[in-house]
Structure 1
Amino acid sequence: MEHEPSIFEQRDEAAEALSLERARADYAAGRYHDHATVSAWLRTWGTPNRKSFREWLKSSG
């Protein structure tokens, strides 16, 4: 019996290409945050101080 891939194993190359295009456009437009900033936000997960990224940015800056 041959294994039938699940929906999570099937690649959607058009969706991946569009996602990469959008990511590159965001980066080129300066819509990104450095690793240290995102890492600091992730350390709030599982704590009472967890907020959405946007809220956290406003309150931490």
Structure 2
Amino acid sequence: MTRENALFDTSDPAAEAEADARADADVRNGRLISHDAVKRWLSSWGSTEPLPRPRVGD
């Protein structure tokens, strides 16, 4: 019996390097959303007035 590879059983080093480069560029250029902004947003999901999705700089 052969086992199929799960989603994360294989890797693509070139794709990972490209994703890392994009993430590094975002950090260098300040294109970030703070952890606290995301926490506030997620915490609001169960309320009667959920917050809008945070944006870069929040």
TM class by shorter chain equals: 0.5 to 0.7
Q: Higher relative contact order at CA 8 Å, sep ≥6: structure 1 or structure 2?
A: 2
Percent of aligned pairs with the same residue? 37
Secondary structure at 1:15 match in 2:
helix
* Aligned mates of 1:45, 1:15 — CA distance in 2: 33
Structure 1 stretches of 4+ with a deviation exceeding 2 A read: 1-4, 44-48, 50-54
TM norm structure 2: 0.65
State the partner residue of 2:12: 12
Runs of 5+ unmatched residues, structure 1:
none
Name whichever structure is richer in helix by fraction. Answer: 1
Tell me the amino acid that sits aligned with residue 12 of structure 1.
Answer: D
State the partner residue of 2:25: 25
* Aligned mates of 2:19, 2:45 — CA distance in 1: 26
Q: For 1:1-61, what aligned pairs fall within 5 Å after superposition?
A: 1=1, 3-6=3-6, 8-9=7-8, 10-47=10-47, 49=50, 51-54=52-55
TM norm structure 1: 0.63
Q: Following TM superposition, by how much is the alpha carbon of 1:2 offset from its aligned partner in structure 2, in angstroms? A: 5.1
